[in-house]
Structure 1
């Protein structure tokens, strides 16, 4: 990195979303007198009789969970999208428009164990989660009214997660949401110009530079993106260009599970706490098109900044003008890269 960029404010371009982030590395030196989050207790039982996601327990709608032994998936009891939404649109003029949105919501329990999170699960168990994601992508995406399948995980109460049981969600919608659409447009533009994948070219250069790469295995690279917004934002990218997670071979699924665990263990080790984040897959729409331009990837957006109790807020300038961060991507990559891949609880 140019020393000027290491010490002075600068903007970085995100080619995936055609947007910019303001980086202000000198601000990391300022004292913190803002809000300090409470650290949630991490001493949970393997089974919680009050948890609506634990095996054999009754959910709010009266349905009883089976005595599941690994991954369990069910229709979200309070889904944001509904399959039976009637088609309707409204357009008074170009300033007032609305249309109904049809879709489906699914909940995926990663494990029957209430006391686990992804970094504490075995790789074989995480691989079952990956398999379930692939199955759901194909099943939901195969419906004629679904054009995008968003797979994601919210970990930790700081991220608004209402239940600590290890789980994620899948929202499948008839329209393509804004963030994937930005990446759709940018990748298509790059593909049409270069006949190459934007992310394939990007990770090739990142592997050569080694400034922001955290680790790699045979099939995946984990790194802090050059354009990261969140303090310890990361991304897992397949080395082979693939449009969707269903394109993975069995070996690649194993490698993805390996990268998922290794990265989240580093997160937990950073502040020796169950590290909160929102994470999810961005991949090709399910609109029947080939989407040769797409290169799927898995992103992590964690809010913690200085410790287990200091959170980064997107307020003020970030909401009104431009995303901003206080430490460079290279600095956060160096911190994460130096961490052990042995979970702090097992030391």
Structure 2
């Protein structure tokens, strides 16, 4: 895999992850007359929950469900100018034109005159990851080699964003389906570099510390060991990965995928883990698409360790994927209604053991050595 970097017309970075060398894609000029980015994000603290809320009013103007022939994530062809100047690409990452978190950060807030307002600038990083130039595809349609290239891109961006002084946690994710709220149908994901540890990450860190104080063990290792011993909720297991429906699953169909050798983030996976992940991840996505007559809307969320000011990840944290769908049955969605939205007290309509059995029933076998990464170059 070969990496090359360029700049878009408004100064945003674009990075090509190519499967063949010397494509010259990063040197292709962006011919659009774009004004400079004017993202004015702000963080506001909720004192009752001690959580940060991101205020990004400029995102009201972002592109919303354009027709296929106007998709900004397709390659540029002739006079049809898009976010990707090259005429083709394998995997490409670029800074979001409408970022929730601004890079560089906007000006500091005015001295406080509002006694209820605790605010700071919304510094951070928001990037898009396009998995393929094929507008009609999905991640599940990719070859194992292409999936491996996406994994390399995730790992590379995690390492680079962790090193930024304004970033405390890197979150790679994909939203698929209008039910989730996607605004562009082209197969893509996003990467956020948060300037704080998000609530879910913060709660897991606190739980891991309490678990170590109580038992002397690592929470993530012990959860994986317990689910493996129970067995009945395990959906997939290989020499390097294990995926299971958690015993206290919140979503009707939800899988947590862990590497069997714990690492804090995607950038710490070795080659064997990355090879295996390409095949395992594709198998899981394809299984989700077979649960119902039509492809499942899903969120694929990579939970990674928060980092300190020097970019060092929390040593107790265990990288894992949370993959879930909002669909609870054909034609029925799981809505976050009064209990979930109002109280954050979850009620699940599908027994996790039943969900695991249904996923196993539609899961393809994962062949050993499925990923062909011949000619994979160094970053």
| Bin for the TM-score computed over the shorter chain | 0.7 to 0.9
Give the TM-score of the pair, scaled to structure 2.
0.73
Q: 1:187, 1:197 within 8 Å by CA — same for their partners in 2? A: yes
- Check if 1:236 corresponds to 2:257: yes
Structure-to-structure mapping, 1:178-197, within 5 angstroms = 178-197=199-218
Q: Which runs of 5 or more residues in structure 1 are unaligned?
A: 1-46, 343-347
Counterparts of 1:293 and 1:59, CA distance in 2 = 51
Q: 2:170, 2:192 within 8 Å by CA — same for their partners in 1? A: yes
Q: 1:101, 1:175 within 8 Å by CA — same for their partners in 2? A: no
- Check if 1:124 corresponds to 2:124: no
Counterparts of 1:204 and 1:76, CA distance in 2 = 39
Which of the residues 187, 192, 198 maps onto 1:166? 187
- Check if 1:102 corresponds to 2:99: no
Structure-to-structure mapping, 1:112-261, within 5 angstroms = 112-261=133-282
Q: Which moved more, 1:261-270 or 1:309-318?
A: 309-318
Q: 1:61, 1:77 within 8 Å by CA — same for their partners in 2? A: no
- Check if 1:65 corresponds to 2:90: no
Residue in structure 1 matched with residue 325 of structure 2 by the alignment: 302
Q: Which moved more, 1:48-57 or 1:143-152?
A: 48-57
Instruction: For residues 134-165 of structure 1, give each alpha carbon's deviation from its aligned partner in whole angstroms, at most 9, with x where no partner exists.
Output: 01011111111211111110011111111221
Q: 1:108, 1:168 within 8 Å by CA — same for their partners in 2? A: yes
Residue in structure 2 matched with residue 313 of structure 1 by the alignment: 335
Q: Which moved more, 1:100-109 or 1:316-325?
A: 316-325
Q: Counterpart of 1:280 in 2: which secondary structure?
A: strand
Quote the offset at 1:49 in angstroms. Answer: 3.3
Which of the residues 292, 316, 319 maps onto 1:271? 292
Q: 1:64 to 1:239 in 2, by over 3 A?
A: closer
Counterparts of 1:233 and 1:276, CA distance in 2 = 12
Q: Which moved more, 1:174-183 or 1:55-64?
A: 55-64
Matched residues, number: 295
Q: Which moved more, 1:272-281 or 1:247-256?
A: 272-281
Q: 1:147, 1:172 within 8 Å by CA — same for their partners in 2? A: yes
Q: 1:90 to 1:198 in 2, by over 3 A?
A: farther
Q: 1:282 to 1:94 in 2, by over 3 A?
A: farther
Q: 1:58, 1:64 within 8 Å by CA — same for their partners in 2? A: no
Q: Which runs of 5 or more residues in structure 2 are unaligned?
A: 1-66, 366-379
Counterparts of 1:312 and 1:243, CA distance in 2 = 31
Q: 1:315 to 1:58 in 2, by over 3 A?
A: farther
Q: 1:91 to 1:227 in 2, by over 3 A?
A: farther
Q: Counterpart of 2:150 in 1: which secondary structure?
A: helix
Higher relative contact order (CA 8 A, sep 6+): 1
- Check if 1:55 corresponds to 2:78: no
